[in-house]
Amino acid sequence: MPSNLLVQPPADGVRLITLHRPQALNALSTELLAELATELDAAERDEHTRAVIITGSRKAFAAGADVNEMAERDLVGILNDPRVSHWQRIAAFSKPLIAAVNGYALGGGCELVMCADIVIAGSDARFGQPEINLGIIPGAGGTQRLLRAVGKPLAMQMVLSGEAIDARHALQAGLVSEVTEPELTVERALQVARAIAAKAPLAVRLAKEALLKAQDTDLATGLRFERHAFTLLAGTADRNEGIRAFQEKRPARFLGQ
Ligand code: CAA
């Protein structure tokens, strides 16, 4: 049983994971990260889980790496940091991952947001990479993913000054997909996740992979991948079902085949 997470079993194909370290504003301790990576591995293997939501509390999604834990780590400890592999497992999750964010998403918290595919933010959310205030830089993708998400000038401003931005600014910059009233953040994320969970699983999986290719490869490689994936899906039962359901004016029943 994880001690830093609240995990709801999948309902309607959606698993909800709540970061729960209220005494430290959900600071991402090594233990919490390990638990999160393990939960995502379990969700990856579970055929009933079609989408996952990660959320925090109203005050904080996550206030970054655990600074007190960082204080105890020397250079050798950093070179052998187990958190690196936890982060890699989190970033490699292949099913749709939605972050529902209220309050602070700082440092590692903002980096966790950027591992998600879709980000629903309450209007009270604040995103930042304050590591520079500690004499360090982001260490879990914050320089690389932030620049890709918001472009160079804003990424530079956030990382070099440590200043956070609010939810509206994050929306305008492309860091989040939608802003809601703070009390509706999780509900809206559930709505989106349930809609995704009802789609054809193979198509969802390949759509995510194809979209991520657009970030990581050149256009020609990405277009080739898209064409292969599109062709592959032509052989699935769910494609036949989707088209037949449209013609028969009824909801499709997708089986993941
Ligand atoms: N690590 C450990 N504990 C933390 C924490 C963190 N990142 N953030 C908050 N806490 C703890 C505080 O120490 C405090 O504990 P006590 O009550 O025992 O003193 C408790 O959570 C509540 O926090 P505050 O009293 O500070 O709450 P606030 O409302 O006054 O301020 C805040 C909120 C602005 C988020 C402030 O807590 C803060 O600046 N936190 C640190 C943010 C930060 O620097 N994050 C980056 C970490 S480095 C990193 O993430 C590296 C990476 O890339 C992986």
Q: Where are the domains of the chain?
A: 5-197, 201-248
pLDDT band at 33 (very low <50, low <70, confident <90, very high): very high
pLDDT in tens, 49-97: 999 999 999 999 999 999 999 898 888 888 888 999 999 999 999 999 9
pLDDT at residue 78, rounded to an integer? 82
pLDDT at residue 221, rounded to an integer? 97
Q: Which residues contact residue 17 at a Cβ distance below 8 angstroms, ignoring those fewer than 6 apart?
A: 5, 6, 7, 8, 36, 39, 52, 53, 54, 55
Say how many Å lie between the CA of residue 105 and the centre of ligand 1.
Answer: 11
Ligand 1 pocket check for 66: Cβ under 6 Å: yes
Ligand 1 pocket check for 139: Cβ under 6 Å: yes
Catalytic residues: 65, 108, 111, 131
Ligand 1 pocket check for 142: Cβ under 6 Å: yes
CA quadruple 108, 114, 120, 126: dihedral, nearest 10: 40
Given a contact cutoff of 8 angstroms between Cβ atoms, the answer to whether 36 and 90 are in contact is yes
pTM across the whole model = 0.96
pLDDT at 251 over 90: yes
CATH number, domain 201-248, options 1.25.40, 1.10.287, 3.40.80, 1.10.12: 1.10.12
Structure tokens at 177: 């997909």
Among all chains, which residue has been given the structure tokens 């256009």? 219
Q: Is 78 helix (H, G, I), strand (E, B) or coil?
A: helix
Q: Whose CA is nearest to atom 29 of ligand 1?
A: 59
Class of domain 5-197: alpha beta
pLDDT at residue 73, rounded to an integer? 84
pLDDT band at 177 (very low <50, low <70, confident <90, very high): very high
Atom of ligand 1 nearest to the CA of 111: 53
Ligand 1 pocket check for 35: Cβ under 6 Å: no
Say how many Å lie between the CA of residue 215 and the centre of ligand 1.
Answer: 31
pLDDT at residue 19, rounded to an integer? 98
Ligand 1 pocket check for 128: Cβ under 6 Å: no
